[in-house]
A and B are shown apart, each in its own frame.
Chain A
Amino acid sequence: MDMSIVLQAGVATGTALLFATLGELLAERSGIMNLGVEGMMLLGAMAAYWVSAHYGVPWMGVIIGMLAAGLISQIHAFITINLRADQVVSGLSLNFLAAGVSVVLGEGLNSIKGVAILPSFTIPLLSQIPWIGKIFFTNQGILVYIGYLVFPLVWYFINRTRQGLHLRAVGEFPAAADSLGINVYRMRYLYVFIGGLFAGLAGAAISLSISPGWFSEKTTSGEGWIAVGLVIFAQWNPIRAAFGAYIFGALRRLVLDIQGPMMILGLANPFYYNPYFGFFLQMLPYAFTIIVLVLGSREAIKKRIGTPAALGIPYIRGERGM
């Protein structure tokens, strides 16, 4: 088994996780936790595939997929921001809604053949770098390359721009932001929307690039939930989020690929001889998410930073404190 091939595929798989995690991270930075990531990803994946299947333009699919997820996220925004409902419950409901809508509207999509998908290519010079070139810059989907650019940009945006400063203030202390004329509600709507766009992009990345096709709920198979976990692990830092997303992507690929070869490290591969052991391998990413949360939570307690102070708390103008 060639490790670099596994990692190469892992980076691709991790890209969807990366987008979903970054989107949730931005929404949570504004103080709104949106547990509907999984559903929004499904909707994005379905809409993107649907458009590409019917019009043959994958790029249009990506944009429609993002918009669809972005729009449905606004239901959560309205319910949590204006109606001040519990964010956990509202997020769960959004999840049901988006997943249900995707499955209903995606009916029959899997039988359409020859759907155009997004291009993959190799970057000329960078791919020559030993190891790294092969893993990161050879025969990757275009969204993977976009992913490399997006996470540093998100970091820069949050920490070094005026808008990022405002975003942090809204998530930490909305009353302070409001007192200085920052429209807390509008900001939260905006970042929930951006979170939705990212989730839609993540979904589109799956259905049109990473593992093309529409397999109803199985298209995302829980990646949206892993993304929610990764945000906690990342302590709301985009760089850590990217690190986590790529590691998880690699892990998911490893689980699939490890069953191929007869020998691993000179030993008989138990997963080759008993493929049913594969079920235990498939548990790994989910078990690992829990482990990562254990580690992340401990560190977060020690540092006592990261969690946006107003996360999960509805903002009501004129009520003191958060």
Chain B
Amino acid sequence: MENNIPGSKKRRLRFPYKIRVEPRLVEAPGWVSVLLTIASIILALMVGAVLIALGGGDPIKAYIHIGKASFGSLGVFSDTLVKATPLMLVGLACSIAFRMKLWNIGAEGQFFIGAFAASVVVLLPVLPDSSPKWLFILIMFIFGFIGGALWGVIPGFLKVKFNVNEIISTLMMNYIAVFWNNYFIYAVWSEGGFQMSKTFPKNAWLPRLSDFAKDAPIFQGLTTHLGLVFAVIAAVIIWFILYRSKWGYEIRLIGDNAKAAKYSGISIGKNIILVMALSGGLAGLAGMSEISGVVHRLQGSISPGYGFTGIIIAWLAKLNPLAVIVVSILFGALILAGRELQPKGIPTMIQGVIFVFLIASDFFVRNRILFSRNIEE
């Protein structure tokens, strides 16, 4: 029960204060966690600045650019929301899985398969091009969800049946999904030799704000699409499932103590499969929303690593579905503005630094640091 930081333990530094670390015996107040999250983001941005400078960029310019290019006007904010939409869905996908300590890091692959499955509706085709918009969206929605869900269930099944580590299997499935997609855009649905499919008919596009510009001129040129509504509704539903349903209770119980769940008569295997299906389905929905709301065709570069960013978003949101919405908007901004930044890897790197600081900061939520005058030594 001795909880000194081991490194600082035996070294008898001539330091006027004694630092002691103890686990908190009462719950840390909510602001501690929020403050630490903000502090880690600020720290991360500072470290990011140093790294950008090392890589030959101008950090201040880069950050100002990120701010302007994502929140500067209604137009760019709308673009930020467009980027945030898939992030929300993927962030939810990760949150629900992580809540059960199910390390689904295959959201990227589930995203691709969701996009693929939604495209099947148009390209196979399942529906003729002349089908009404509502039908297109409904069927693509269902296909996207099911595609992602299937891709999620496979590793879930392998875990239940063969005890295969889901971290590795979901990750490997990411690569497989990308190659699967590539085969179809190169070989089957290639349009005029380019590595992309034909553009979807307008009926298969999710409605955008700019579609309503006739009635409300302020929407002129705004690209925010219906996917955002899907994402926000999904967040509310997931929140409701987690905190107000029997299934959510089971998920939280398994996540906190799987043995206790088993002892309460809850089937862990069944829940692994169901949660992987829901998680994969949400990521697949993100793929569908991106295909139908933004790209309007199937191609190779539909994701700048959304699936991986979702992991960080889930963590930053402390696995709270409603917080995922806010965090996704911030990361949407980072990704949107980051596209034009040089050197290229800046958004990934900043995400990485934020993630590292965030995890480190968790220590201070769980423990308290005591300072006392060092009289004895």
Contacts and interface: CB of A to CB of B under 8 A. Distances in A.
Interface of A: 35, 75, 78-79, 81-86, 88-90, 92-108, 185, 216, 221-222, 225-226, 228-229, 232, 274, 276-277, 279-280, 282-283, 286-287, 289-290, 293-294, 297-298, 301, 316-319
B218 interface: no
A79 B343 contact: no
Contacts of B186: 276, 279
B217 to A, nearest CB: 41
Most buried by B among A94, A99, A225, A286: A286
Contacts of A228: 167-168
Given A88-B103, A94-B356, A274-B187, A283 B55 contact: no
Contact of B158 (A75, A276, A294, A301): A294
Query: Chain A interface mostly helix, strand, loop or mixed?
Result: helix
18 contacts: A78-B360, A84-B363, A85-B359, A85-B360, A86-B359, A89-B315, A95-B352, A100-B352, A101-B349, A101-B352, A104-B344, A104-B345, A107-B342, A107-B343, A279-B180, A279-B183, A290-B173, A293-B164
A100 B350 contact: yes
Nearest to A315: B6
B55 A100 contact: no
B349 A293 contact: no
Interface in B28-69: 51-52, 54-56
A274 B54 CA distance: 46
Contact of A283 (B171, B180, B358): B180
Nearest to A102: B345
Contacts of A225: 168, 171-172
Given A84-B363, A92-B105, A276-B186, A185 B6 contact: yes
Contacts of B256: none
A213 B343 CA distance: 18
Interface size class of B (residues with CB under 8 A): 35 or more
A36 B351 CA distance: 15
Given A185-B6, A279-B183, A317-B2, A98 B359 contact: no
Given A283-B175, A283-B176, A283-B180, A96 B55 contact: no
B355 A293 contact: no
A287 to B, nearest CB: 6
A216 B356 contact: no
B6 A81 contact: yes
B349 A229 contact: no
Nearest to B364: A83
Given A90-B356, A279-B183, A293-B168, 13 more contacts: A89-B315, A89-B359, A96-B352, A97-B349, A101-B51, A101-B345, A103-B348, A216-B344, A229-B165, A283-B180, A286-B176, A290-B168, A298-B163
Interface in B144-162: 155, 158, 162
Given A84-B363, A290-B172, A103 B162 contact: no
B32 to A, nearest CB: 15
Most buried by A among B4, B344, B356: B356
B121 interface: no
A103 B175 contact: no
A319 B1 contact: yes
Contacts of B311: 92
A213 B201 CA distance: 42
A216 B179 contact: no
A221 B172 CA distance: 11
Nearest to B309: A96
Contacts of A105: 51, 54-55, 343
Contacts of B2: 316-318
Given A79-B359, A90-B359, A318-B2, A185 B172 contact: no
Most buried by B among A102, A222, A225, A283: A283
Interface in B281-327: 308, 311-312, 315
